[in-house]
């Protein structure tokens, strides 16, 4: 009986989002209590050093640079699956969420850039914070509404979030990498070529791909590009489960399933815990009028819905795309509000964008993301709940 209840709980679509919220709130409570020093001690606990690249390889580095690589590996697998057999496997299916995602990235980035135009270059570099949607939270909230939500609407949100992730990944690769080492870049390209050759010559051993993936992670680490991109590359190159032998298909399905559980129930909650420790007492009143916090808030809460819905509506009006069967423009608008939940990817980009700025700025950025995501989640849920209540 207990086993059945546990399995049922683990399969619940909202559990991942609940764990994220719990870890986020727990981290903030500790950080703003008398045990703040304990939180700092935990996340900055030194594990080991990698030559001279890390002065101290801490738990924070382990989560953000190693565990998040596995998260990006899952995204890579998901992108490939959707493009081959899922919601992005045809032009007709992908064009509307693709256009919606472009609007959902362009408008928030534009709002932030306008509001921070008179700030320093380092502050302006946070323009990408509001461009991504947290797929775990957004889909989790949608699933809470139950079977009343059309499957086509869930598919639309998944496809849109995947395009968002692709945009965020490109932003990280192009704008948040520094001190590029050309020799290690060439070595990384050689490793990627080796992975492609394994795929082309039908080598079907996951362990071999993972070993070379670790080599790719190390080479990208020293190249100056952010290491999590190695996860995306490996996920896209891995042979797809529907195009190969039954033996490999069984192993890749098992690997993907275990990776999904690991990501949902451990990696993302761990990321939330080590990155959500925002000391609110350090954020003075005048900072709330700061263009950075305003840019993030307006970008996520207003920019996302405006961008996603307006681009969707115009593409349908101009007959560039079609509204998916069984859903209305009202439902698309509800989804566009949920897209303002930035959280995971937004927090990740804020770490990269403001790594050379004071901790007060990073705390402000994270607090703005958390507050904006909360507002978007509540209003998105209430809007869709009102539609489906009828």
Confidence of residue 113 (pLDDT cuts 50, 70, 90): very high
Q: What is the DSSP letter of 355?
A: T
Q: What is the pLDDT of residue 244?
A: 56
| Mean pLDDT score across all residues of the chain | 83
Q: How confident is residue 228, by pLDDT bands cut at 50, 70 and 90?
A: confident
User: In this model, does residue 11 exceed pLDDT 70?
Assistant: no
Question: What is the model's pLDDT at position 363?
Answer: 82
Give the whole-angstrom CA distance, residue 337 versus residue 105.
13
Segment 292-301 shows an average pLDDT of: 93
pTM confidence score: 0.78
Query: Which residues have a Cβ under 8 Å from the Cβ of 381 and sit 6 or more positions away?
Result: 141, 144, 145, 338
Report pLDDT for 170: 84
- What average pLDDT score do residues 213-219 get? 92
Q: 286 pLDDT exceeds 70?
A: no
Residues 6+ apart with CB under 8 A from 275: 27, 63, 64, 347, 348, 351, 366
Q: Give percent of the chain with pLDDT exceeding 90.
A: 26
Q: What is the pLDDT of residue 282?
A: 62
For the segment 156-207, what is each residue's pLDDT rounded down to a tens digit? 888 888 888 888 888 887 888 766 778 888 999 999 999 999 888 878 788 8
Name the helix (H) or strand (E) containing 370: helix 359-389
pLDDT in tens, 307-317: 999 999 999 99
pLDDT at 85 exceeding the cut of 60: yes
Q: Classify residue 48 as exposed, middle or buried by CB count within 10 Å of its CB (0-12, 13-18, 19+).
A: exposed
Does residue 288 carry a pLDDT above 70? no
What's the confidence (pLDDT) of residue 287?
56
- Which value, to the nearest 10 degrees, does the dihedral of the CA atoms of residues 290, 295, 298, 299 take? -160
Q: What is the mean pLDDT of residues 95-107?
A: 93
How far apart (Å, rounded) are the C-alpha atoms in residues 17 and 143? 11
The more confidently predicted of residues 365 and 137 is 365
- Is residue 52 within 8 A of residue 260, CB to CB? The reply is no
Residues 147 and 283: their CA atoms lie apart, in Å, by 42
**Token duo for residue 83:** 């493009």
Rounded CA-CA distance 39/37 in Å is: 5
pLDDT for res 278? 79
Looking at the predicted structure, is the pLDDT value of residue 79 above 80? no
Average pLDDT over residues 262-290: 77
In this prediction, residues 335-359 reach a mean pLDDT of 86
């Amino acid at each position: 009986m207990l086993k059945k209840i546990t399995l049922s709980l683990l399969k619940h679509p909202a559990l991942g989002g609940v764990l994220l919220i719990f870890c986020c709130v727990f981290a903030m409570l500790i950080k703003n209590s008398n045990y703040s020093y304990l939180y700092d001690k935990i996340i900055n606990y030194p594990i080991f050093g990698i030559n001279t690249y890390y002065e101290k390889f801490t738990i924070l580095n382990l989560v953000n640079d190693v565990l998040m690589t596995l998260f990006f590996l899952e995204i890579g697998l998901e992108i490939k699956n959707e493009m081959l057999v899922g919601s992005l496997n045809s032009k007709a299916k992908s064009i509307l969420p693709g256009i919606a995602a472009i609007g959902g990235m362009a408008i928030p980035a534009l709002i932030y850039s306008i509001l921070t135009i008179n700030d320093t270059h380092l502050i302006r570099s946070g323009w990408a914070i509001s461009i991504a949607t947290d797929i775990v939270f957004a889909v989790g909230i949608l699933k809470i509404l139950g079977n009343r939500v059309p499957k086509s609407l869930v598919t639309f949100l998944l496809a849109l979030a995947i395009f968002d992730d692709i945009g965020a990944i490109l932003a990280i690769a192009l704008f948040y990498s520094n001190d590029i080492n050309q020799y290690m870049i060439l070595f990384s390209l050689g490793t990627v070529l080796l992975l492609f050759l394994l795929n082309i010559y039908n080598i079907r051993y996951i362990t071999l791909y993972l070993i070379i993936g670790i080599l790719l992670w190390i080479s990208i680490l020293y190249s100056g590009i952010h290491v999590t991109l190695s996860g995306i590359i490996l996920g896209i190159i891995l042979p797809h489960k529907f195009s190969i032998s039954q033996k490999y298909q069984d192993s890749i399905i098992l690997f993907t399933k275990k990776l999904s559980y690991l990501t949902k129930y451990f990696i993302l909650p761990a990321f939330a815990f080590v990155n959500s420790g925002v000391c609110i007492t350090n954020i003075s009143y005048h900072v709330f009028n700061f263009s950075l916090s305003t840019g993030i808030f307006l970008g996520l809460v207003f920019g996302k819905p405006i961008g996603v819905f307006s681009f969707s509506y115009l593409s349908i009006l101009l007959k560039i795309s079609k509204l998916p069967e069984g859903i209305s423009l009202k439902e698309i608008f509800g989804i566009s509000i949920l897209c303002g939940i930035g959280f995971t990817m937004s927090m990740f980009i804020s770490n990269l964008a403001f790594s050379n700025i004071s901790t007060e700025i990073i705390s402000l950025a994270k607090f703005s993301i958390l507050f904006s995501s909360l507002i978007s989640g509540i209003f998105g849920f209430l809007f869709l709940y009102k539609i489906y209540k009828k």
